Chain A
Amino acid sequence: MAERKLMSGNEAVAQGALDAGCARGAGYPGTPSTEILENFDAIGGQAEWAPNEKVAAEVALGVAFAGAGALVTMKHVGLNVASDVLFTAAYSGVSGALVFAVADDPGLASSQNEQDTRRIGIAAGVPVIEPADAQEAYDFTMLAFSLSARWRIPVILRLTTRVCHTASIVAPADAKVVPVPARFVRDIPGRVMIPGHARIKHRELRAKLNEIREWCELEGPNKIIQGSSTGIVSAGVAYLHAREAAPQASFLKLGMTHPLPMRLILSFLKEKSAGFVIEENDPCLVEQIRAAGGDVPWNPDQYRMGELNVDRVRRMLARDPAPEAALPKGKPPRLCAGCPHGYVFEIFKKHDLIVAGDIGCYTLAALPPLSAMDSQICMGASIGVGLGLRHVLPETEARRVVSVIGDSTFMHSGLTGIAEMVYNPPATGHVVVVLDNLTTAMTGQQEHPATGRRLNHSPATRILIEDVVKALHVPNVLVFDPVRQASELEAELLKALQSNQLTVLIARQPCLLAAG
């Protein structure tokens, strides 16, 4: 028997992918998903960071078109970026296997929203599998690959923070899947999604989902625990909280939350005097079960927000609508003492600039004492939002607008923003400051195309951000060391704000954490 190990959920997904014969993993870093690919690389898998989640999903789809197994990893908001791939890959299907490991962040430990990936699974029409702990993360990753290969459909493995970052004991499988060699088999009507082909493929997709639903009813990864006449339907880590909160109750634990085995759910509930649904994030299960005629109550709305735990589940089962006590506030994270980004934000603050911000460590500059960021929405939004502000604000205010973006975020979603700036320049021009600390710092110093190193830190062609923006015809491009040349950077920034030119200032200095 394979040796039992203590593994985090992310390690277990990596091991499950390797044991399922996955030929390549691609993704973009994002808490809490980042360690999946790092571990996949560490245990011998072929893993890469792509510039963003959409490209990662496209690479993975290509792998799966070639008949091999592919894993693509991201956080929940990353799937928004990759959803263009997912929605049509659901139609085309795959020849090998394609698993989207997507990590939700209920409670927003490190995210800009708490959206629920199950909604996207339903909208795209792909199966969604939800593990509760590391053992299931391993088993369900293997299952996701086998379902994907069997029905030739992308499968979402929906993870949450407490699954990704909880370590528990995993017994790996004895039998590993031996990968089949990749080879190209032409299938033009199956992979070229022009309307005439896609109409047919949409019907095929719905037929596949009906088959998968039947499979889920009869032999899906669901289990029933018989107890009292109170019946609780649950999934993911919420199930573990609920078992502990109500040890006497009966449980239907769902391993697949789309498509739902509704006959199984309704027959489970029918025998019970009271039925409940315990789920984290949106009321996806409650809505579907009620729509099918199941007698389960809505949970008070407050429980769709924040992370669940045993105490909260106890209150949910007591149907307690009383406002919950606010959690004690811990010490918030802050920019490291001496962080190069801090020098730039000091300048913004000194001149009371209007700062369209972006996603990264530097978003911490929005908090006191700096309070020097005015918006943060999604990867790359700093540039477009800054341009929009410039277009309509009165001239004196427009000249105070600056966009600020990190190096990894720039490679992820900044290039098209620069194209927009050059194509539709505001009358007052614009200034974009790229904070280049030569790493993806926020998620733990991952590589990206502008670091010159691949996921495993081996050398790669380095894309120089100044070369890219010059090639996109930005007329004024300057590089500074924000620590040693803070005053030069300040002078150049003020000059650029007063000109009607388009300017990109690159503040380059390695991350303190990377320096050690």
Chain B
Amino acid sequence: MMADRVCNVRIAGLGGMGILKSSQLLASVLFQSGYDVKKAEVHGMSQRGGSVASDIRFGKEVLSPMIPNGEADYLLVLAEDELVLYPDALRPGGILIGPSIFAKTPLPNKKSLNVAMLGALSHYLDIPIEIWTANIRAGFPEKLQAVNFEAFNTGRNAVK
């Protein structure tokens, strides 16, 4: 599916959930995998608990930084309530990833939900695991690495 067509990922949730952090990690992973990448988000109010969404688009050549309606391939929603904001976001056959994937395999640390969701996404993307690993290592201070690796793996296994 990642031939010439642009692939679209939207990560959505509330300020303080680490949306911007996870979208930054994802964009970096995609860049290092050789794709053209654009990552668009609106800053400013995000620390005050408001709705936050980040669009990450990748492929051979990305034009607009924002995902057109009905063209998202993956919609990662970190707060279930926020789903109502994106009723037409996914394309037919697009994949919704929400916190309910952790109903059976609970997360060790709720603060790492953002990275756990990336783990779930990684199951669907054709990207070598080493690139994910290197970016998580580079993206967090040493003391937070173990918990984030665990979250990533929990997410990756939850959707298998």
Q: Give the complex CA separation of A322 and B38 in angstroms.
A: 31
- Considering the complex, give the chain A residue whose CB is closest to the CB of B30: A6
A6 close to B48 (CB less than 8 A) = no
Distance A311 CA – B72 CA, assembled complex (angstroms): 13
CB–CB A162/B50 < 8 A:
no
**Chain A residue contacts of B48, Cβ below 8 A:** 333-336, 361, 364
> Within A285-323, which residues are at the interface with B (CB < 8 Å)?
309-311
**Are the C-beta atoms of B68 and A330 separated by less than 8 Å?**
no
Contact with A along B28-55 (1 / 0, CB 8 A): 1001000011111111111111110000
Complex Cα spacing A223 to B43, Å: 31
User: Which of A118-126, A166-174, A191-199 lines the interface with chain B?
Assistant: A166-174
Judging by beta carbons under 8 Å apart, are B37 and A109 in contact?
A: no
In the assembled complex, the CB of A396 is this many whole angstroms from the nearest CB of chain B, namely 36
Residues from chain A with a CB closer than 8 A to the CB of B39 are 6, 166-168
Judge if B69 is at the interface, Cβ distance under 8 Å. yes
Of A133, A244, A331, which is within 8 A of B50 by CB?
A331
Cross-chain contact A513 with B31 (CB below 8 angstroms): no
User: Which chain A residue has the least Cβ–Cβ distance from B71?
Assistant: A310
Interface size on B, residues (CB 8 A): 35
Question: Which size bracket describes the interface of A in this complex?
Answer: 35 or more
Of B57-65, B93-101, B105-113, B137-145, the segment with at least 4 beta carbons within 8 Å of chain A is B57-65
Number of A-B contacts (CB under 8 A): 103
Partner of B65, one of A240, A334, A444: A240
- Bound form: Cα–Cα A162–B64 in Å: 9
**Contact indicator A243/B63 (Cβ below 8 Å):** yes
Contact of B42 among A161, A169, A443 (CB under 8 A): A161
In the complex, what residues of B have CB within 8 A of residue A311's CB? 68-69
Determine which residue in A330, A364, A442 has the highest number of CB atoms from chain B within 10 A of its CB, and name it: A330
User: Which partner residue on chain B sits nearest A243 by CB separation?
Assistant: B63
Which residue on chain A has the smallest CB distance to residue B35? Answer: A169
Q: B61 to nearest A CB, angstroms?
A: 10
B68 lies within 8 A of A169 (CB)? no
Nearest-neighbor residue (CB-CB) of B55 within chain A: A166
**Whole-angstrom distance from the CB of B18 to the nearest CB of chain A?**
15
Structural contact, A240 and B31, CB atoms closer than 8 A = no
* Chain A contacts for B36, CB-based, 8 A: 168-169
Q: Is the CB of B65 within 8 A of A237?
A: yes
Question: Does B90 count as interface, using CB distance less than 8 angstroms?
Answer: no
**Given A310-B68, A331-B50, A364-B48; A244-B41 close (CB under 8 Å):** no
Q: Does A394 contact B (CB under 8 A)?
A: no
Chain B residues near A443 (CB-CB < 8 A): 44
Residue of B nearest to A310 (CB): B68
Q: Does A92 contact B (CB under 8 A)?
A: no
Partner of A328 from B43, B63, B85 at Cβ < 8 Å: B85
B40 touches A332 (CB 8 A): no
Q: Which residues of chain A come closer than 8 Å to B44, judged between CB atoms?
A: 31-32, 109-110, 442-443
Residues of B close to A309: CB separation below 8 A? 64, 66, 68
Please measure, in the bound complex, the distance between the C-alpha atom of A443 and the C-alpha atom of B63, giving whole angstroms.
Answer: 28
Contact between A167 and B37 (Cβ–Cβ < 8 Å)?
yes
With beta carbons under 8 angstroms apart, the residue of B31, B41, B49, B84 that contacts A165 is B41
Assembly CA distance A444 to B68 (angstroms):
29
> Which chain A residue shows the least CB distance to B39?
A167
Complex: A444 Cα to B38 Cα, angstroms: 23
CA of A180 to CA of B66 in the docked complex: distance in angstroms?
A: 41
Closest to A307 in B: B66
Most buried by B among A162, A329, A335, A361: A162
**A241 within 8 Å of B (CB atoms):** yes
Is B49 a contact of A331 with CB atoms below 8 Å? yes
Q: How far is the CA of A133 from the CA of B42 in the complex (A)?
A: 15
Question: Are B42 and A165 within 8 A (Cβ)?
Answer: yes
Q: Give the residue name and chain of the A residue nearest to B45 (CB).
A: A333
List 19 additional A-B contacts (Cβ < 8 Å) besides A169-B36, A310-B66.
Answer: A6-B39, A31-B43, A32-B42, A109-B44, A109-B45, A110-B42, A161-B42, A162-B40, A165-B40, A165-B42, A166-B41, A167-B24, A241-B66, A243-B64, A244-B63, A311-B68, A311-B69, A329-B85, A333-B46
| Interchain residue pairs with CB less than 8 A apart (10) | A109-B42, A133-B38, A168-B65, A169-B37, A237-B64, A237-B65, A240-B64, A243-B63, A310-B66, A330-B82
The 5 A-B residue pairs with the shortest CB-CB distance, nearest first, are A330-B51, A333-B50, A333-B48, A110-B44, A333-B45
